Chains A and B, each alone.
Chain A
Amino acid sequence: MLPFFIPGEGGQRFCLYHPANGLTRGAIIYLHPFAEEMNKSRRMAAIQARAMAAAGFSVLQIDLLGCGDSSGDFSDASWQAWQDDVLLAYRWLRTQTDAALTLWGLRAGCLLAGTVAVNLPEPTNFILWQPVVSGNLHWQQFMRLKMAGELASGQAKGVTAQLKQRLASGQSVEIVGYEVVPELAGGIEASELLPPSLSNSPITAQPDILQISEAKKPAVAWFELSTRENATLAPASQKRIEQWQSCGYRVQAETIQGPAFWQTTEIEDAPELIVATMAALEAF
């Protein structure tokens, strides 16, 4: 495992590179979730990245601008800057290996993966862990943290409305210690987890996936977690998955038994998710 920095716009990005053990069978970029969820999920990301490297996949983890050990404050981050960071990571990874690309995301990291893929010059596979399918809903839920923080003091009423008002007037908002600028909030809010060919971007570097032969079509491994046995995928996810399939992706979607480790109070492991992810990767 190699920790290093990539120079980027507004400073350096902290990266961790896990080179494949032996022949490189695939190249993977990990995209972390939003705000506190990133901290909660560090351990699972590390365990998974190591398992991938051991099985012959080279993995690059990048801390996005203003996150983790990268340069900048959270208030420097915008949705566009984070997309640029993914392209930065991609270009670096391509100096190391030509193996087939997979974007692996957790929560909002999936949303970022889907958004940025349209600007990659090659098709990519996806590993999506508990994907955020609606940026709008994700942002609403993040704003709730502020409201929840005010519950005990009885000042919770109208908190969300105040946040929206500040953002609309071009000011940043502070939510559980994260200073968010309108460019970031707005970018997340406007994003949907769509296959690259359905995105609104006017420029797409992506080849038409429907024209690719069946066996070579890019794959999507979509995993959701539940502590309950035999849980089904969220209805909102079902609809999205059909869109990915109709755009030519081979989608495997599954609910795995395990804790919501990105939000649980204690740092938890979901070993069955690691197993399922490795199996999916083998089948790509």
Chain B
Amino acid sequence: MTILEQDLNTEKEILSLLDEILCLNGRSSDFSRNTPLLGAIPELDSMAVVALITGMEERLGFAVDDDEIEGSTFATLGSLIDFVEGKLAN
């Protein structure tokens, strides 16, 4: 798998998780890297953030230490993808 393919896969997984947890009914297909998440999507509350982290751990096979996460991690779709790629590269 090339790096580009992996990036696309990660993005796809994250979007499908967001859609499922936030009940977006496919609205996530309009999201781009610049789409703001935390504070911009009202459905993204504590429970949804935790569901998202847990879902990423389960589907993408890495473990997140709580201290690794900051508000900026969930600022935009792009920042979230970068965080996940960082985890996958380790």
Contact = CB atoms under 8 A, between A and B. Distances in A.
Contacts of A234: 58
Interface in B33-90: 38-39, 43, 45-51, 53-54, 58, 66-67, 69-71, 73-74
B38 A141 contact: no
B36 to A, nearest CB: 12
Interface stretch (A19-27, A73-81, A157-165, A275-283): A157-165
B23 interface: yes
Nearest to B58: A234
Interface in A124-181: 141, 143-149, 151-154, 156-161, 176
Contacts of B23: 259, 264-266, 268
Given A147-B66, A234-B58, A259-B20, A152 B47 contact: no
B70 A156 contact: yes
B20 A227 contact: yes
Given A141-B50, A160-B66, A265-B48, A151 B21 contact: no
Q: Majority SS of interface residues in chain B?
A: helix
Interface size class of A (residues with CB under 8 A): 20 to 34
Interface of B: 16, 20-23, 38-39, 43, 45-51, 53-54, 58, 66-67, 69-71, 73-74
Interface of A: 36, 141, 143-149, 151-154, 156-161, 176, 227-228, 234, 259-260, 263-266, 268
